[in-house]
Each structure stands twice: as C-alpha cells, then as structure tokens.
Structure 1
Amino acid sequence: MTKITRENISGADRFDTPKVLLLSICHFVHDIYSSFLAPLLPFIIEKFGLSLTQAGFMSTVMQLPAFLNPYIGKVADRTSLRYFIILAPVLTAVPMSLLGVAPSYGVILLLLFFAGISVSLFHVPAPVIVYRVAGTRTGRGMSFFMTGGELARTLGPITIVAAVSLFGFEGYYPIMIFGIVSSCVMFLKFKNMPVVIKQKEAPSIRRTCIEMKNLLLPLTGILFVRGFMHACLTAFLPVYIMQKNGDVWLAGIGLSLFETAGVVGILTVGGLSDRFGRKKLLQFCLIVAPLSLLLFSFSQGWLQLLLLLVTGFSLLSTTPVMLAMIQENSREGSSAANGVFMMVSFLARSAVVVVVGFVADKVGLETTYIICGLIGLTGILFVNTLEGTSPVLQQERE
C-alpha cells in the first residue's frame, strides 16, 4: 500500500487556510439544502395528514444511504476525491427543492433518498481532505469545516421559510438554481486542486473496524445517546414551536438560533481540543448538553431561549472533536475509517428520530424532550471508556 501522509499532500505540517476555507464554503453550500427538511415538516404534515412517526420516518429514509458510507470511503481511498465535492451541491439541491411539488408521501420519500445519497458522497471524503491539509491542527481544521455545515443549518431554515412565504410551499422549487450554479463554481475552483489521494490497495473495512474498536465502540454509544437530544431539537423543534403558538417564522428562527449557538461551539471546542485534549472536551459537552436540555424543557421566556443557546453550543460542538479522533486514530486518515464513523453517525440519528417521533405521538413533545435529556446524561459513561490510539496503529507509527 502506498504510504499517504499529510506531508505528501500539502508539502508541510502547516495549517493550509485557503484549502480549509474552500472546503468549509463547499460544506455550507451543500448543507443549506439538506437542512430544508425540518422547517418544511409542518407543511408536509399538513398537506398529507401525517403523524409524527411518519414525519420522523422521512428523516430516516434520508439517512438510509449511510449504509453505503464505508464502501464510499473505500472507493474514495483509491480515486480522486474532488469530484465527490463538486457534484454534491447540485445532487442535493434538486431533490430538496422539489419536495413542495411532490404528489404523494411516497414521492417525497424517494426524493429524500436521492438527497441522502448525495449527502453520503460528500460527507465521507471531505473530512479526510480537511485532515490532510490541516497540518498538526486537526481539531481546528475540523472546526472550520463543520462551521460551514452549521452555518448552513443556521441560515437554511430562514432561507426556506422565506422562499415558502414568497412563492408558496408548492412554488419554491426555483431555489435549486443556486445549487446548480454552486456546483459549476466548485468545478472551476477544485478542478486543479492538488488534493488527489490514491492508494493502490483500498483498506479493509473489517480490519479498520477491528483495529479501531476501542475508539469506535464508545463513540457509537455517544452517537446514539446524543442522537436523542439531536433528534428532538433539530427534527422536531419547529413542530414543537408551531404547536405552542403557530408562528412559522418563530419556528424557523428558533432552529436557526440553536444552530447559531452550534456554530460558536464548533469554532471554539474543536480548537480547544487541540490544546486540552479530545476526551476532556467531550466530557464537558456531554455533561452540559443534557442538563441544559432538561432545564430548557422546564423553563419559559428568555431563560428558555438562553438554555436553547447553551444546548446548541455544547451538543453540536462534539462533532469536530470526534471527527478529529477518528482521523488521528486511522491509517493516515483513511476515508474508509471516516466512512464507518459516518455510517454509525447517520444511522444513529435516523433510527433515533423515528423512536423520538413515536414517543412524541404517545406522550407529547414536552415529555419527550425530558426523556431525551435523561438519556443524554448517559453519554458521560461512554466518554469515560474512551482510550487513546489503538495499540495496532500506535505500534505501526512508532
């Protein structure tokens, strides 16, 4: 197997700011479309008369292509990564822009499945490129990259609510033009980008899982318990607000405020983990996030808004820390390792959101938020079992 290191790609162990920023911008463009589903849920539920369980299943369908993530990573380790990045905006923009004109619930599920394929094609190889152009500051690189995605999820709800307000739920589809144009721009920017990573032999997915089990198993537990908190806030927060006061703008703004706090958290925590350690920052976040969610469920007014911001800051900032851990503990940051992690991440969220929707149908969203906060508290148990670099990889590097 060809030895691939960051020095082979970037020429030094320095933080390559232009490349990291370019990847962050691409992440922003792509994820602004994939963030449309939650704000559109109230309209889809009303149009087709869906239950919350059916609404949650839509998110699950969008996550189903995550089963392919390890194999996408395996292919990415043997080919150029840039075309995955170039095509992602248009492949996500088109189906997400057609949800309003879908004639049935089944067609909506089909559109979301195609969008999910594009999400996988982008999110598996992109962090690998970030790792290889971030030098020794992996946490900071992942923070920059994830900021693009969180900014998209911050502006996405406002964007789609504005589009629906102007053109109607069935008339907002022209918004896809921005994704099409973005892919054209990305082609011009990326076609000569010297980040082409090829390996003669793709890494074994099974071997990757075995070598990284001491890291992957605790992270899997963290992803599942975090998924309950993530699902109730990102998938059902607009519905929760709509049920409370019927204000569609407030529903979109509430989700945007949550995501804005997440942007601040991602920029802060990823970089701090380079200095103070990944495990310590995860411990901090997975104590603060569930406690603030529980307090949010019992509070009112401005205090509730403040607690929503605290929850967003601590909950969403865990992602760049875990991405950094995966890349640092894999064979020179392979896409296969990232694919396994992304598969677990996406599937944890998709499976949990159906459970959350089902529970909400039975006991109501307010009680569901409390349950999710209590489950989130168990995340600290998994953090405490995290170990450092796997013995196999550590021995290989020494």
Structure 2
Amino acid sequence: MSIQAKTGLTGQTLSEEEFQTGQVLTIVSGHFVHDTFSAFVSPLLPLIIEKLSLSFAGAGGLWAFFQIPALLNPFIGYLADRVSLRYFVILAPAVTATLMSVMGLAPGYFVLALLLTVTGVSVAAFHAPAPAMVARISGPRLGKGMSMFMAGGELGRTVGPLLAVWAVSLWSLEGMYRLMVLGWAASAVLYWRLREIPARPTRRQNWGAVLVSARRLFMPILGIIVPRELMLTALSVYLPTLMRLEGASLWVAGASLSIWELAGIGGALTSGTLSDRLGRRRVLLVTTLSSSLLMLWFLNATGWMLVPILLALGFTALSVTPVILAVVQEQMPENRAMANGLFLSMAFMIRSAAAFVVGWLGDMMGLRQAFLWAAIVSLGSVPMVYFLPRLKTSPQDGGEAGSL
C-alpha cells in the first residue's frame, strides 16, 4: 500500500488488502455530517404540520417526496461503477445542509415538497457510491467497514434532531438557514481528503448481467425489508409526533428520536463486526426478532421504562442494515455501487410507501394503533433471513469469515 504524506492515498496505488482506517473514517465523518442534516425532517414535522395545517397523511406525503429520488440510486450506482463519482460524495453534505437549513422558509406545501425532492437527489448521490468506496478500502473486514459507515449515519441522525430543535429554539424555523455553513465546511474537508481516492472498480459488467446476478440476492432481501419498514418508518418519522400527541414537550419528543438513534450507533458498530465472526444470518435472525418484540414492549410500557426499552429497540432495529449492506457488497464485488444503489432504492421506495401507510393508519385508527400494527407486521421478516444466499467462505456454514 502506498501512503502519501498529505492526502493519504493515490488513485492508482490504493490497496484492497488492508483495512485503511484513516480513509474509512474520512468517509464516515462525511456520512455523519450529511445525515445530521437529512435527519431534520422528522423532529420538525410537528411544527410543519402546525404551520401548514397538514393531516398525518399529508405529512407522510412530504416524507414520500423526500424518498422518491431514491429511484435514481441504481442508475447513480451504475455510473459510479464506471465513472468515478467521488465528487457526488464530496459535495452532497454541502447541498443537503443548504436545502434542509432553508426548509423553514418554504411558503407552502408545494415548495416544501419540491425542496425535499431535490434534497432526496442529494441524499441518493451520496449514499449510492459512498458504501462502495468504503468496501473497497476495508480489505477483508467488510463487516467492520459497513458498521463504521452506518454508525456515522446513525450518529448524524442522533445529533440531527437535537441540532434542529436547538436551532429552531434559538432562531425560529425560518432562521435556521445559518446552519448550512457546517455542511460546506464538511465538503471542504472531504475534498481535501478524498480527491484522489478511486471510486470505481477495474472490472465491469453490463446492466443486464448485473440484474441477472442480483435477482437471487435481492428477492430474500426484499422479503426482509418490506415487513420491517413499517416499524422503522413509524419510529424514524412519527415517533416525535406520537410523543407530542401523548403530552411530551418538543424537546422530549425530539430527544426520544435521538435516544433511539443513539442506541442505533452501538448496534451499527457491533452488528457488522459480529457478523464477520458469527455469520450474517445468525446476527440478522437475532436482531430482526428481538427488535419486533421490543417494539411491542415499548408500546405497552410507561414512565421511565420507556428509556431503556427505546435504547434496546434502537440497538437491535438499527443493527440490521450494516449486515445486509455487507451481504450486498460480498455478493456483487464487481458492481458494488450499483448493488448498493439497488438496495437503497428498494429500501427508500418501501419507506416512502410505509410513511404514507403509517400516516393513513394514524388518521384512521390513531397513531398508537398504527405503531402496534407496524410491530406485528415486522415479525414477517424473521423467516425470510433463511432464504439469503450462502457464502462458501462462511465459518458457520463451512468456510471462513464473512459468512451469512
């Protein structure tokens, strides 16, 4: 491996045989800043609902506009596997920070929906190539690389609600545009550190060949994420709103989301690394089942017990994605960005529909009942774990580290 004194790595000498901590941490830090700002929607949703006099379904529609650009993920990933899109990763924190910081200036529903749609494009431009870049510099410790990447995002989604509420309390919803400077500073650092890191592999396949090889992988993944997304979306989008409806202050409502996300940092850091040793399937079985049961417990708990349950729920519920990302990167090593784009596109589209469904159920039967049904449906993801393809290198299934 060749290491430069100032920038770290050259595009031609980057080794894939070692875990390159410095460069991984650079991308992880960018993920943290980016997702800090993309997490502004949920904690500010109660204020937006009040300002624009929205129904829960209308609020869910805003979330759908935010997720619609995820349709671009496979195409961005396909390009990233052929033409280096590192500048998408570099610029996305600045763009997302700017758009999220001016959200309070939107005069009506249409403008806000347009703003969130453009923000969604920026989110897609970051998340399709970034995990593939991390995978390429993680060497044999792919699970660890995915865990660190996801932990950066979870930390951002933990800080984001607190930062948003703090900014609104200090400057009002319309005055939080001042925060955008943080995103531009992050992009400047990413440019300095990543301008020479390679963002595409040397071997390529055509679109049709990639889709054929992806079919066996993504059918069971679809079976896992569809039932889970109702629960995850209920928590990530509507948890502050549920807390407000049940009498919590804006600060407590925002803190509940941060508690959930904070626990998710530990889960994200732990699950991928554990799956390198114990196997992907084993870790997925434990986390999918336990998170569904903890959601049911959370809905039946009161008082101080909500905090430890919410911590455990965040730890398990947010442990799943790093492991699935590791599976995706392992199964399609020559088209990692496109494979990641396909996965994110599926997840985001399902999440968009789930946001509307949970909002509609909340309008029909109350938000607490909507949460209950989301928890029950999420149990359907557990048996689908058994249909994931095996790796010949599995320690538990007859091989080495990196198992399913």
Q: TM-score, normalised by structure 1?
A: 0.93
- Whether contact under 8 Å (1:79, 1:199) holds in the other structure is no
The one of 279, 287, 290 aligned to 1:288: 290
Structure 2 unaligned blocks of 5 or more: 1-10, 393-404
Deviation at 1:212, TM superposition (A): 2.5
Q: Distance in 2 between matches of 1:302 and 1:166?
A: 29
Q: State which of 20, 41, 54 in structure 1 corresponds to 2:24.
A: 20
- Tell me if structure 1 keeps the 8 A contact 2:289–2:382: yes
Q: 2:161 aligns with which of 149, 157, 166?
A: 157
2-structure distance, mates of 1:157, 1:197: 34
For residue 59 of structure 1, report the CA deviation from its aligned partner. 1.0
- How far apart, CA to CA, are the structure 2 residues paired with 1:198 and 1:138? 16
Query: Per the alignment, in what secondary structure is the counterpart of residue 262 of structure 1?
Result: helix
Contact in 2 for aligned 1:81/1:195 (Cα 8 Å): no
Which of 170, 173, 176 is 1:169 aligned to?
173
Counterpart residue number, 1:394: none
1:43 pairs, out of 44, 47, 55, with 47
Q: Find the aligned partners of 1:197 and 1:169 in 2 and give their Cα distance.
A: 40
> What residue identity is the alignment partner of 1:268?
T
Aligned residues: 382
User: Cα 1:8–1:216, aligned 2, differ >3 Å: closer, same or farther?
Assistant: farther
Normalising by structure 2, report the TM-score: 0.91
The 5-angstrom pairing of residues 186-265 of structure 1 reads 186-191=190-195, 193-197=196-200, 199=202, 203-265=205-267
Residues 259-314 of structure 1: per-residue CA shift (max 9 Å, x gap): 00100001111100000000110000010000000011111112222111111111
The offset of 1:9, in angstroms, is 6.2
| Identity within the alignment, % | 41
Contact 1:285 / 1:314 at 8 angstroms: preserved in 2?
yes
Instruction: Provide closer, same or farther for how the CA distance between residues 333 and 275 of structure 1 changes in structure 2, counting only shifts above 3 A.
Output: farther
Query: Contact conserved, 2:284 with 2:385, CA < 8 A, in 1?
Result: yes
SS of 1:91's equivalent in the other structure is helix
CA distance 1:252–1:9, shift in 2 (3 Å): farther
> What amino acid maps onto 1:119 in structure 2?
V
Contact 2:101 2:180 in 1 (8 A): yes
Distance 2:109 2:255 in 1: 26
Residue 168 of structure 1 aligns to which amino acid in structure 2? Answer: S
Residue identity opposite 1:195 in structure 2: P
1:300 to 299, 302, 306: 302
The equivalent of 2:37 in structure 1 is 33
Distance in 2 of aligned mates of 1:297 and 1:280: 27
The equivalent of 1:268 in structure 2 is 270
**Tell me, what secondary structure is at the counterpart of 2:173?**
coil
RMSD over aligned CA atoms reads 1.6
TM superposition outliers: structure 1 runs of 4+ over 6 Å: none
Contact 2:78 2:335 in 1 (8 A): no
How far did residue 196 of structure 1 move?
4.1
Q: Which amino acid aligns with 2:304?
A: W
Question: Which amino acid counterpart does residue 21 of structure 2 have in structure 1?
Answer: T
Cα 1:12–1:78, aligned 2, differ >3 Å: closer, same or farther? closer
Cα contact 2:201–2:334 (8 A) shared by 1: no
